[in-house]
Amino acid sequence: MEKTTERLSFSSGYSEINGLNMYYEIYGQGKPLVLIHGGGSTIQSCFEKVIPLFAKNRKVIAVELQAHGRTNDRGTDSSFEQDADDVAALLKNLSISQADCFGFSNGGTTALQLAIRHPELVRKLVLGSALVKRSGMPGWFWSFMEQASLENMPAQLQDAYLKVSPDPEGLQLMHDRDTRRMIYFRDIPDELITAIRMPVLIINGDKDVITTEHALELHRQIPHSELAIIPGGHGEYIGEITTLKPDSKESDWVVPIIEKFLDKE
């Protein structure tokens, strides 16, 4: 289905994947770049500001994962491993044999699992604020997750979900899926991380909820990796909806850094 926004035309569709009817959008032309959103997000709430920039030079494939946005729920708990398998199946359904991948936050952890479980599909990997070890979050985060409620979810994320899927029960389900996944999150084993062989760019905000030390340790563990610590909070470097300010500027975002990394031979 072809659509046109004020800024950019794109195609969108649904693909039958592992019990899901997965929603995706495709922008631009060129080498494929997969965008994987964070927890509680939609394509637009996470990546709306940077998609037009990436789409100038690339074929951007943005997805919505289980229970998020326009993608349905399969009736089972969410996991980063299953999300990665779902993205892999979508790429195969779209006849994309290999792509670059940029995942943010929970999407970064999913992107890492994609590289671990389906390395043949990933040419280069960009991990934005990705969690690998529980120690990568401050202690208060885990206490917060134990007490999490929909009322504490940022209003911008709730509104973004309801804009594309006006279903309050679905919003509650998405919240509960993401909360449960984080409560039961377990460290990704070191041997899986150190075995990653494709080039990796790790990005973290200097005031991120993911600690700088965690990002640095991940950089040390992945053989062919680069690290960029960007001024700002969680998602501010891509213009994620909860971080947008009236004076937000494209020049403050990390798109040129990512493109330079992806373009290097």
CATH architecture group of domain 2-263: 3-Layer(aba) Sandwich (3.40)
Specify the pairing of strand 99-104 against strand 58-64: unpaired
How confident is residue 2, by pLDDT bands cut at 50, 70 and 90?
A: very low
How confident is residue 8, by pLDDT bands cut at 50, 70 and 90?
A: confident
Over the stretch 141-195, which tens digit does the pLDDT of each residue have? 999 999 999 999 999 999 999 999 999 999 999 999 999 999 999 999 999 999 9
How confident is residue 103, by pLDDT bands cut at 50, 70 and 90?
A: very high
Express the helix, strand and coil content of the chain in percent, nearest 5 each: 40, 20, 35
Buried b (16+ CB within 10 A) or exposed e, 206-227: eebbbbeebbebbbebbeebbb
Q: What is the pLDDT of residue 3?
A: 47
Over the stretch 63-75, which tens digit does the pLDDT of each residue have? 999 999 999 999 9
d(CA 159, CA 44): 11
For the beta carbon of residue 264, count every other beta carbon within 10 angstroms: 10
Average pLDDT over residues 38-66: 98
Residue spans per domain, the chain: 2-263
Q: What is the pLDDT of residue 128?
A: 98
Q: What is the pLDDT of residue 118?
A: 98
Average pLDDT over residues 113-125: 98
Q: Please, what's the largest Cα pairwise distance for the chain?
A: 47
What is the per-residue DSSP string for 176-188?
HHHHHHHHT--PP
